[in-house]
């Protein structure tokens, strides 16, 4: 038990020394939700319904945030990504209702896998896109103007 405490303390200390970006925060939240669902899934019996309800509620709140952000017109995500987030959110909401009505281990598994897969994608750093010809030309023109002014 002491070892777990030390690991948690060290992790907190390390977290305080570096900034966490939004993608990493979202991935960590999804992994937390997946762990909560896995804990219930590992020991699943109908007598654990209240624990499952708590884990499903946390997961549903998380996906509500994702869905709201995807629906926000001011959010800079591409429309196809927003649509995908919306579709996954709808599935998560429907599966959450199914789990509250008639939980099975297989239904829990689907939510765990979704969270883990999305978290893995978020932890992968996006590749830097090459400059378009117009952007490169504009950047060159700005650099030329700055050197001419100097």
Q: Which domain holds residue 113?
A: 22-123
Angle at 98 between CA 86 and CA 120, to 5 degrees: 45
Label residue 150 by pLDDT band (50, 70, 90): very low
Q: Is 130 part of any domain?
A: no
Structure tokens at 56: 């499903």
Task: Calculate mean pLDDT across residues 26-55.
Answer: 96
pTM for the complete prediction? 0.71
Based on the structure, what is the number of domains in the chain?
1
Whether residue 3 is contained in a domain is answered as no
The answer to whether residue 100 is domain-embedded is yes
Residue 13 lies in a domain: no
Structure letter (DSSP) for residue 8:
H
Assign residue 92 the CATH number of its domain: 1.20.120
Residue 41 lies in a domain: yes
User: Which tokens is 132 given?
Assistant: 């378009």
Is residue 51 within 8 A of residue 150, CB to CB? The reply is no
**Any domain includes 8:** no
Q: Is residue 114 part of a domain?
A: yes
Would you list the DSSP string of 105-140? Answer: HHHHHHHHHHHHHHHHHHHSPPPPPPPPHHHHHHHH
* pLDDT tens profile 58-110: 999 999 999 999 999 988 889 999 999 999 999 999 999 999 999 999 999 99
Residue 150: inside a domain, yes or no? no
């Amino acid at each position: 038990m002491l070892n777990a405490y030390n690991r948690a303390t060290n992790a907190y200390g390390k977290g305080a020394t570096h900034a966490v970006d939004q993608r990493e925060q979202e991935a960590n939240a999804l992994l937390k939700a997946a762990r909560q669902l896995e804990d219930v899934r590992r020991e699943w019996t109908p007598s654990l319904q209240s624990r499952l309800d708590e884990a499903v509620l946390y997961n549903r709140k998380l996906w509500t945030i994702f869905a709201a952000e995807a629906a926000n017109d001011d959010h800079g995500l591409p429309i196809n990504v927003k649509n995908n987030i919306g579709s996954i959110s709808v599935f998560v909401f429907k599966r959450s209702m199914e789990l509250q009505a008639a939980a099975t281990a297989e239904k829990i598994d689907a939510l765990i896998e979704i969270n883990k897969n999305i978290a893995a994608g978020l932890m992968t750093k996006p590749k830097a896109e090459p400059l378009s010809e117009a952007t490169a030309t504009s950047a060159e023109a700005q650099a030329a103007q700055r050197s001419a002014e100097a």
